[in-house]
Amino acid sequence: MTEPDQKFEEEIRRALCAASDLIVPAGDGLNKIRERTSRRPAALAWLLAYAINLPRQLARGGRMAASEVAATAHGYSSVGLVLASARRWPGRARHALRTPSIWVRPALATATALVLVLGVMLSIPRVRNQLSAQLASALGTSSNPGPGGEPSGAGAGGAQSSSATPWATGTATNIAGKPFLATMPPSSTQCRSQGSGGTATAHHSSETGYIPPAVGQGPSQTVGAGTNGGVAHLVGSAPLDVAAPGGMGPAPVSVTCSPSTAPAKPATSPPVTQLATTPVTSPTTTPTTTTSPTTTPTTTPTTTPTTTTSPTTTPTTTPTTTPPTQTNTSSTNNTASPDTPAASAAPTG
Amino acid sequence: MHVIETLVVSETALGSVPAQWDEARAVTSLYGEHYGTLVRLAALLVRDVATAEEVVQDSFVAMHTSWRKLRDTEKALSYLRQSVVNRSRSVLRHRVVVDRNAPMPPPLVPSAEQGAITELERSAVVSALRRLPPRQREALVLRYYGDLSEAQIASAMGISRGAVKSHTARGMSSLRTVLQLEF
């Protein structure tokens, strides 16, 4: 550093010190500071101090535990000393209980943490519903209709799922040569078609297996989703897909009734093998399922509508009547997607 | 000059703040030793004695609040100095916003604080210092008033030592230019 620089620095230093000498702070600074520090609520300061120290104490405890474990592993544990001191615990406990400052703070901190956790949990509707359902079931009340509630389904056919049983009990089989064949017990799911106009009903009750007719009009209907979240699709007298979207709603059911007039074509979609395993359905799968005519050509003209859609026809009998050409598939889960229909039949005959 | 000596001596004597002291005792001790120095430092930064006192009191209150969080209570003065610098910076930032939006009219009757500021502004060096960017001003004040090392300045300003060198060099150059233009 050159000499002019040093001179300049000295000049700046002198000027700054001379300017600062003019500043005389007021004498009541300490009183103001004390007043402000004592203004804070004592309880808050108390809890804050504890909360600040808590992680440090936890870390210290962890270190002590680790060192104790290491000492135990090396054979010179201090467990004996601990046990010796443990004999004096009753007296210490009495002393601690008589001294609230020892236990009130942790107790309050624990209670506050519990209240916070409970508040956060109860503020989430899903968790709250689950808790209430579990409480209701624990108390022996089975009147919880589920978040879906009553299905609507008036007029246009309905999709109804019972929330008592999460999903239907139908079984799906994959037979060689037949891409997909669902065999449903008579009481699980039925698909019914009435008339030529497509009056159809899709009703699923996993408890009773009863499928009452609903009034559906027109060749293509999107059956209204009930308040349980179920959605039924009905395309004429052809594919009927009933599925309940996921969430906490009840059983997703996929029912497909193939039309009897469609030409036979090889199945274009791979067989769905993951059936009755995943009850959760995304709502996007149901509205568009099997609504296009291109997805229905899996049936042959030989299939009569009565075999597929009569109320007395069960899914187990339907494949046997028209094994090679027609398939009435009932699926109890929602793996059917718009791109991969749940039911497809290959003309094996 | 005695201010610098006081600051330096206090810096070395700060190790006498024991770790087992509680916050009230530490605040009392640090206030007695360093309050005036810190107020002058803040006044050089914010150019307002009352605001400087508020800044320093805020720093003491903050230190009192977070005394248990201090890992090394023997560095309480470093913590205080850094707090003062940061709060002075916040005051200047807020003042810029206030001046931009609603310029305050000058008071009709000058108060005592105003007189102190005027005395401050009479110094050519201080008035030239006022025109510097905040970081350069902080670096120069901490360097030539606080007589701190580069590491201490870096710690107080929250920047690297290289940045301290850069700010100091640029500030000195600008200050020299301004002073040569005035005289």
Per-residue pLDDT, averaged over B55-63, amounts to: 91
Write the burial class of residue A8 (CB in 10 Å: 0-12 exposed, 13-18 middle, 19+ buried): middle
- Using an 8 Å Cβ cutoff, are A251 and A341 in contact? no
- Residues in A closer than 8 angstroms to B111, CB to CB, are none
Task: Identify the residue with better confidence: A32 or A215.
Answer: A32
Q: Is the pLDDT of residue A263 over 90?
A: no
Most confident of A53-57, A182-186, A201-205, B179-183: A53-57
Nearest-by-Cβ selection for B68 from A12, A26, A52: A52
Q: Say whether A33 and B27 touch across the interface (CB within 8 A).
A: yes
Q: What is the pLDDT of residues A13-37, one digit of tens each?
A: 888 888 888 888 887 888 888 888 8
Instruction: Write down the ipTM of this complex.
Output: 0.75
Q: What is the pLDDT of residues A87-129, one digit of tens each?
A: 777 777 777 667 776 677 888 899 999 999 988 888 888 888 8
What's the token pair of residue B103? 């310029």
Q: Is the pLDDT of residue A150 over 50?
A: no
Q: Which residues pair with A330 in a beta bridge?
A: A255
A-chain residue closest to B143, CA distance: A13
pTM, to two decimals: 0.40
Q: Say whether B65 and A40 touch across the interface (CB within 8 A).
A: yes
Residue B116 has what pLDDT? Answer: 54
CA angle, corner B2, sides to B163 and B44, nearest 5? 45
- Using an 8 Å Cβ cutoff, are A169 and A332 in contact? yes
What's the token pair of residue A255? 């029912």
Q: Say whether B43 and A30 touch across the interface (CB within 8 A).
A: no
Determine which of A2, A13, A33, A38 to mutate to test the interface with B (most B C-beta atoms within 10 Å).
A33
Q: What is the pLDDT of residues A125-145, one digit of tens each?
A: 888 888 888 888 888 755 444
Q: Say whether A17 and B145 touch across the interface (CB within 8 A).
A: yes
Q: Is the pLDDT of residue A206 over 90?
A: no
Residue B125 has what pLDDT? Answer: 83
DSSP string, A40-94: S-HHHHHHHHHHHHHHHHHHHHHHHHHHHHHHHHHT--SHHHHHHHHTTHHHHHH
Reduced to 3 states (helix: H, G, I; strand: E, B; else coil), residue A204 is strand
What's the token pair of residue B106? 């000058």
Residue A303 to residue B94: CA distance in whole angstroms: 83
- Using an 8 Å Cβ cutoff, are A233 and A242 in contact? yes
Task: Identify the residue with better confidence: B95 or B112.
Answer: B95
- Using an 8 Å Cβ cutoff, are A230 and A276 in contact? no
